[in-house]
């Protein structure tokens, strides 16, 4: 039921954002379509099963998005600076990082957050280890790289997904 409810709410929010209207003639078809899609899609997946529905988890979702967007802007500026100043040293390489996240969906979100930030790319996920390609490796030991790359996202995902 939780999976169905969250899917329905997400679809309705997307519908409202796309239509930019709260009129009944817009909301009713959106609710019907969201209900039908949620009904069929939730039989096949269990994406939101591990998600906690607490006020703290809800707040941490927005904090996670804020941290992600700030990191996204910082890494975009860093990559742009490296492109515009070719004399800057780079140290590309693949580092192994560890995560403490247990939820598969939380791990997927973490891997995507790392990949979406320019200068890093999640190459492989194996158990609790992620292998990340970095444009400039700062720390090549597992603990140091995990602290630099993973911990800033992981602490919020831990609260949201347990």
The predicted-structure confidence for 38-69, as pLDDT tens digits, reads as follows 888 877 777 777 778 889 988 999 999 999 99
Q: Is the pLDDT of residue 140 over 80?
A: no
The encoded tokens of residue 47 equal 């994406």
pTM for the predicted model, two decimal places:
0.77
Domain extents for the chain? 2-44, 55-161
The confidence score (pLDDT) of residue 144 equals 85
**Beta partners for 131?**
96, 124
Q: How far apart are the first and last CA of the chain?
A: 19
- Give the chain's radius of gyration (CA, Å): 19
The predicted-structure confidence for 69-122, as pLDDT tens digits, reads as follows 999 999 999 889 988 988 888 889 999 999 999 888 889 999 999 999 888 999
Over residues 10-30, mean pLDDT: 92
Place of tokens 């993973």: 150
């Amino acid at each position: 039921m939780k999976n169905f409810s969250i899917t329905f709410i997400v679809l309705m929010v997307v519908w409202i954002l796309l239509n930019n209207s709260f009129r009944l003639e817009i909301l009713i078809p959106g609710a019907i379509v969201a209900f039908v899609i949620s009904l069929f899609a939730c039989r096949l997946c269990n994406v939101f099963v591990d998600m906690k529905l607490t006020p703290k988890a809800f707040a941490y979702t927005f904090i996670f998005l804020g941290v992600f967007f700030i990191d996204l802007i910082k890494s975009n500026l860093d990559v742009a600076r490296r492109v515009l100043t070719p004399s800057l040293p780079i140290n590309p390489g693949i580092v192994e990082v560890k995560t403490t996240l247990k939820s598969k969906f939380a791990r997927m979100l973490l891997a995507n957050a790392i990949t979406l930030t320019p200068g890093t790319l999640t190459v492989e996920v194996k158990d609790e280890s992620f292998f990340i390609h970095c444009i400039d490796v700062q720390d090549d030991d597992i603990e140091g790289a995990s602290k630099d790359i993973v911990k800033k996202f992981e602490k919020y995902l831990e609260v949201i997904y347990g």
